[in-house]
Amino acid sequence: SYNINFDTYDVTDQRNLLPSLRHATTGKRIRPVDVRMSPLGDGSLLMTADRDDISTSTRGGGLYRIRRRRSGDNSNTNNNATMIDLADVNTSGENPGNVVIELIADIPCARQITVSTDNPRLVYVSSFGGFCPARGGGNRIWVVELNDDMQNNSGNMVRSFN
């Protein structure tokens, strides 16, 4: 993240928001591809990854939400989104932005994110199998409908089509 003086366009400060998402010892990682602001206006970010060694369903990544950690965020209290344990992909235990990463939707080989201009709850995610370790993943467009309750920590993928 950056602090920018928009009068002079000077960058006055730069900080990491996320820790490294690759575990130095085990090699397990989440490989981010695209990041954008959540269209729901809740202050969170949406991120795609085309590789996720933590996910139990595939190694192909998905659509994630990155948000500020709140009290009580130490376990998966939300049945619709899976909280990622940063210790699985970070050996140093750092979390400079005090964030939580949640897997919203398993999407093998997820790449770019765009949002519908007609309905900001509809998020389009493209996938490409050329760089992806998941079998049968890629070369599709996924439509994810975000739940309005994401602002209250109960976000989920309502539907996806490919």
Q: For 81-132, how does the pLDDT look when each residue is reduced to its tens digit (9 = 90+)?
A: 777 777 777 766 677 677 888 888 888 888 899 999 999 889 999 888 776 7
| % of the chain residues with pLDDT over 70 | 66
Q: Which 3-state string (H, E, C) describes the chain?
A: CEEEECCCCEEEEECCCCCCCECCCCCCEEEEEEEEECCCCCCCEEEEEEEECCCCCCCCCEEEEEEECCCCCCCCCCCCCEECCHHHCCCCCCCCCCEEEEEEEECCCEEEEEECCCCCCEEEEEECHHHCCCCCCCCEEEEEEECHHHHHCCCCEEEEEC
* Residue 6 near residue 75 (C-beta atoms within 8 A): no
Q: What's the confidence (pLDDT) of residue 157?
A: 54
Q: What's the confidence (pLDDT) of residue 73?
A: 62
Calpha distance 64→52 (Å, rounded): 11
